[in-house]
Chains A and B, each alone.
Chain A
């Protein structure tokens, strides 16, 4: 039996102010089961009245040893673990891992697969921002936002179900291409979404952007300077709201992002409201990319022809001896990857999502490290909440957009 230990102030002595030791300020637990922490996050707050003096996040409640588990699986099989990290961005996680594997083994991806990946990842970005918009609206008592946002998100998840059979844990993007070609209904489903969504964004903006109550809660709250953001490794919309123009889709284009015309919204205010505005604008930009990619979606294969790494299509297995051998070898033994390491980064809805992958010459990775954006984005929260009210903390935490599965891995 594990004994329940009483938490003493001793282990937090170096993190709180002098006044906490004399009992002048109060230490208060927020979480791990608190609705506004967006998951299982515990915040130990040092409060002076209602003002936050210090904030000590306690993470690891969702730690499931994803990296350790991936080391025990072959390169193809380890991919399913990536879905479970950031459960709001499953397609993006697949893409980041798959790109690292492709770079390590040097496999080319056909143009159609690249365009499909872009469409799906951008839809995923919209879905992720919708969850963020809905839940942060909910945190600030804009109840109806949650319902509206989840209505549109459902439409995107239906598209995912159409292509992969799964709403969330898709594993649709595979090394060398995608799982299989999209069904004929795919184009219409995406077109329907493109048609309806701009009006919906206008609706969200009517509800929130100029809403005086919302502005009161957001403007000049949680100021994050450019220097602090960079020092703490903050990336994504949170960094762009602090005036740094850094988007990996523009800076280091992958999957043919250079062919699409889109803007990267950058604001310099660095407060909670700026982070909100950046994400709202990103919704429109992502939709632009989806539309362009769908318009010029090329025909052709969706998987690489390199049979040493990519399994053959099912229809070939019955008629070709080689295909059967390749299929058997790839799914039992896996493919060997060189003894070298790769760092490959993509722009996730939350920032720089990167995979550090090191092979040891065999079919299993020696080390997989997921550089997840939420980890660093939460790391900066203790710095930016100091001096604000507890109610503001809720708004700030919502505005950096963390996903606990992404942090704890």
Chain B
């Protein structure tokens, strides 16, 4: 771990009871969903983490407690440091509070989080899907969502497959 990062990690550990993991010099801090807004505010205002670089999630299906880890990757330009906050979320009605009041970029990223993983973002100012169409069902990046494919059409089964295809006819 970077020497400059040690006091920051210690502070978050003491304040939020966070545990931490380290892999190839990258630090992951685990905090609870209800603490994330406070933790991000603290890191932004007192430790110069000005940039929310990424906000995404990982699905550990079939594990269900916790099923998801929501990931907040922070970058400090002033100190040239990075730290990752992870929020474990359970599989039944997954929810995290919105952080749009702390970082503007969270707005679209949280819409993507809901769209791709179905993790509800409480208090989001614009809770719509972002990448998938509004009327689509399911959340594609969940592990129980199957990866689709297109059936290859040959001369012998062209018409049969054509009838099943979902594109607009006429």
Seen from chain A, the residues whose Cβ lies within 8 Å of a Cβ on chain B are 1-2, 5, 11, 14-15, 59-60, 63, 65, 67-69, 71-72, 103-104, 106, 228, 230-233, 235, 244, 246, 251-252, 340-343, 345, 352, 354, 356, 358, 366-367, 369, 371, 375-376, 379-380, 383, 408-409
Contact = CB atoms under 8 A, between A and B. Distances in A.
Given A1-B168, A231-B104, A233-B103, A60 B133 contact: yes
Interface of B: 23-24, 26, 28, 50-54, 56, 58-60, 71, 73, 75, 77, 80, 82, 84, 103-105, 107-109, 116, 125-126, 128-135, 140-141, 145, 147, 168-169
B71 A408 contact: no
A271 B5 CA distance: 35
B54 A356 contact: yes
Q: Is the interface of B mostly helix, strand, loop or mixed?
A: loop
Nearest to A408: B131
A231 B103 contact: yes
A240 to B, nearest CB: 11
Contacts of A60: 129-133
Given A11-B128, A68-B140, A379 B104 contact: yes
Contact of B147 (A14, A72, A383, A409): A72
Nearest to A339: B23
A230 B51 contact: yes
Nearest to A56: B126
Contact of A341 (B50, B58, B105, B134): B58
A354 B23 CA distance: 17
B105 A376 contact: yes
B108 A375 contact: yes
A59 B130 contact: yes
B105 A232 contact: yes
Given A233-B105, A340-B23, A63 B58 contact: no
10 contacts: A11-B134, A341-B58, A342-B24, A343-B26, A343-B54, A366-B60, A367-B141, A369-B54, A375-B108, A379-B105
A233 to B, nearest CB: 3
B119 to A, nearest CB: 14
B164 to A, nearest CB: 13
Nearest to B26: A343
Contact of A231 (B84, B105, B168): B105
A14 B59 contact: no
Nearest to A375: B108
Nearest to A355: B54
B85 to A, nearest CB: 12
Given A15-B126, A356-B71, A379 B140 contact: no
A69 B147 contact: yes
Contacts of A72: 147
Contacts of A244: 77
B147 A369 contact: no
Q: Which of A68, A69, A354, A383 has the most CB of B within 10 A?
A: A68
A409 B109 CA distance: 13
B102 to A, nearest CB: 9
Contacts of A11: 128, 134
Nearest to B106: A233
B125 A68 contact: no
A240 B31 CA distance: 33
A343 B84 contact: yes
A342 B147 contact: no
Contacts of B103: 231-233
A99 to B, nearest CB: 12
B131 A63 contact: yes
B30 to A, nearest CB: 13
Contacts of B108: 375-376, 379
Nearest to A372: B54
